Amino acid sequence: MNRITRRRLIGLAGVSAAGLAAGGVGLGKAVEDGGAEDTVPFYGPVQSGITTPAQDRLHFASFDVATTSERELRDLMRAWTEASARMCAGRTAGPTNATGVLPPDDTGEALGLTPARLTVTFGFGPTLFDDRFGLASKRPAALIDLPPFADESLQPERSGGDIAVQACADDPQVAFHAVRNLARIGRGVVYMRWSQLGFGRTSSTSRAQDTPRNLMGFKDGTNNIKLEDEDALRRFVWVDDGDGPAWMRNGTYLVSRRIRMLIEVWDRATLDDQEQTIGRHKTSGAPLGADREFDPVHVDSLPVDAHVRLAKSDVRILRRGYSFTDGVDDRLGQLDAGLFFLAFQRDPRTQFVPLQRRLAQNDALNEYVSHTGSAIFAVPPGAAGPGRFVGDGLL
């Protein structure tokens, strides 16, 4: 819960991100250089963590900016880019870790771990484009405020935010370490609004991956856009020239939805009911009436309110969500667990919004789920190489 007001934080903000990034003596060579194994390149035309084969773990954090200085915001994105590039390469977040009179530049809990295919992906929320930084005229039209949908129970303390950080890795401690160190670097400039841990991927984003299962026990990600689908990526994921402001070219838009599953209710539904709800067989993942997971879906043969029937469309999205559990709902004594839905797309106005509208109205799954958090972010292109930073086209 966020109890500190933005105004108060502006008053407290003294230390700039750049001030914290000063150089010094490095750690031993092995740690400084990191390893090439298990490494996903940070720099590139698009950000990693989108078409990267989905890692097993997630730590997602949404930050609000406490300063009103565009320069401090720029310095922050520069410092965050540099630290992220280092951490993704398996190095420490910063170079100064052996000076007794200074706090180390790296908190240390990832020392000795592999990079675990860490990716760090940044996004800018609609609120960053208010009047604080003079960015209003640069807000892309596609970065809408999401409209309300039927029957959602959104909690403000789990929704929105100025800047998103999505850290994915095959090791939970590596993902946590990345978010923690970025938060530390940003201290005084940003504060964390909400964060979400994900313990298992609920999507495959490459044909080389097996389809995982979500907490309802169903294979999830079968008909997802995969990194091998270059045509679909161009059509449905990457922002192209002419789609909006030039700074978003090769970017994409991220919608996050924290979807709580009413697991206790689901677990009392019969297998037939469960399969009719999704529109696929539970064990094989095949469409109802078919045998194999990747057999074609014939929507006309599915119940009118089956999730897959309503979700299938010529307009597609790239899903990259994670299972979560956040302990117990005190009022009901039930697990607070579900699917932290993450979807990347070229234009949420024509992709997520109509899709979610259809689902919110008619999906049989609604009996078993409740949307408790929501956010949308413009995900800029990647930093092309050292010296560049994520968002430098905007800031």
Which stretches of the chain bind ligand HEM, using CB under 6 A? 214, 216, 218-224, 257, 259, 261, 278, 280, 297, 307-308, 311-312, 317, 338-339, 341, 352, 355-356, 359, 365, 369
Q: Which of 193, 257 has the CB closer to ligand HEM?
A: 257
Q: In angstroms, give the least distance from the CB of 197 to ligand HEM.
A: 17
Task: Tell me the HSE value of 385 on the side-chain side, using a 13 A CA sphere.
Answer: 0
Q: Are 390 and 166 in contact (CB under 8 A)?
A: no
Q: In angstroms, give the least distance from the CB of 31 to ligand HEM.
A: 40
Q: In angstroms, give the least distance from the CB of 202 to ligand HEM.
A: 8
Kindly give the residue spans of alpha helices, DSSP state H, lying in the chain: 6-12, 17-20, 29-33, 70-88, 172-185, 230-236, 263-266, 271-278, 307-311, 352-362
Q: In angstroms, give the least distance from the CB of 365 to ligand HEM.
A: 6
Q: Are 209 and 228 in contact (CB under 8 A)?
A: no
Q: Which of 52, 224 has the CB closer to ligand HEM?
A: 224
Q: Which of 40, 339 has the CB closer to ligand HEM?
A: 339
Report the alpha-carbon distance of residue 207 to residue 225 in Å, rounded.
Answer: 10
Q: In angstroms, give the least distance from the CB of 380 to ligand HEM.
A: 23
Report the alpha-carbon distance of residue 211 to residue 219 in Å, rounded.
Answer: 6
Q: Which of 302, 395 has the CB closer to ligand HEM?
A: 302
SS3 call for 322 = strand
Q: Which of 142, 317 has the CB closer to ligand HEM?
A: 317
Q: Which of 26, 53 has the CB closer to ligand HEM?
A: 53
Question: CB under 8 Å, gap of 24 or more: what pairs does 235-243 form?
Answer: 235/316, 235/346, 236/315, 236/316, 236/317, 236/318, 236/345, 236/346, 236/351, 237/50, 237/51, 237/318, 237/344, 237/345, 237/346, 238/46, 238/346, 239/142, 239/346, 240/346, 243/142, 243/346, 243/347
Q: In angstroms, give the least distance from the CB of 280 to ligand HEM.
A: 5
What is 324-389 written as a DSSP string?
Answer: EEEEEETTTTEEEEEEEEEEEES-TTTTHHHHHHHHHHH-GGGGGEEEEEEEEEEEPPPP-STT--
Cα-based torsion angle of the residue sequence 61, 64, 70, 72 in order, rounded to the nearest 10 degrees: -70
Q: In angstroms, give the least distance from the CB of 279 to ligand HEM.
A: 7
Q: Which of 158, 280 has the CB closer to ligand HEM?
A: 280
Question: At which residue do the structure tokens 């003596």 appear?
Answer: 25
Q: In sequence order, which residues have a C-beta less than 8 Å from that of residue 137 and are 6 or more positions away? A: none
Q: Which of 181, 252 has the CB closer to ligand HEM?
A: 252
Q: In angstroms, give the least distance from the CB of 367 to ligand HEM.
A: 12
Q: Which of 83, 259 has the CB closer to ligand HEM?
A: 259
Q: In angstroms, give the least distance from the CB of 257 to ligand HEM.
A: 6
